[in-house]
Amino acid sequence: MKKIIALISEDFEDLELSYPVLRLREAGCLVDVVGEEKNREYHGKYGVPFISDLSFDEVDPADYDGILVPGGWAPDKLRRFPEVLEMVRAIFAAGKPVGEICHAGWVLISAGILEGKTVTSTPGIKDDMANAGATWVNTPSVVDGNIISARRPPDLPAYMKDYLRVLFAE
């Protein structure tokens, strides 16, 4: 069974967390929702509640097969935690799937893993992505090595097809 970390913080984009979590669980994966505090109820931008399974300090990235970073305003909060950046770096360095959608690119920028990569995101942070050394493209979903990126909620079907393809290709 594949184990995936789904990061969470306040003001996540509701669909960009719930859709991937449900899709991965449908595919037989164990998904741990990981936030600053364990068993805390976090709220999406549109009010959808989600409860974290674990806290950042309870997670060893070596025990997981991939990570997902949702968009919304949560990435601006998530990237402030050294534990989050270490999780992302460790999963990336191990060649395991790192998924990011919309504003989630901010976390990958802060983790320092975008140099030389081709990615997409919400157009609002394309300059940030380029300034981090990435080539930004305006397409629904991009796979570059083990980074899978998407622009916004309407791109979720393409994003999750790509994420699952990379996850199960190992």
**Residues designated as active site:** 102-103
In sequence order, which residues have a C-beta less than 8 Å from that of residue 11 and are 6 or more positions away? Answer: 43, 44, 45, 72, 73, 74, 77
Distance CA 41, CA 67 (A): 20
In the chain, what are the helix, strand and coil shares in percent, each to the nearest 5?
40, 25, 35
C-alpha distances out from residue 53 to 34, 71, 131, 145, Å: 6, 19, 34, 29
Strand locations in 73-146 (E): 98-101, 118-119, 135-136, 141-144
d(CA 81, CA 45): 20
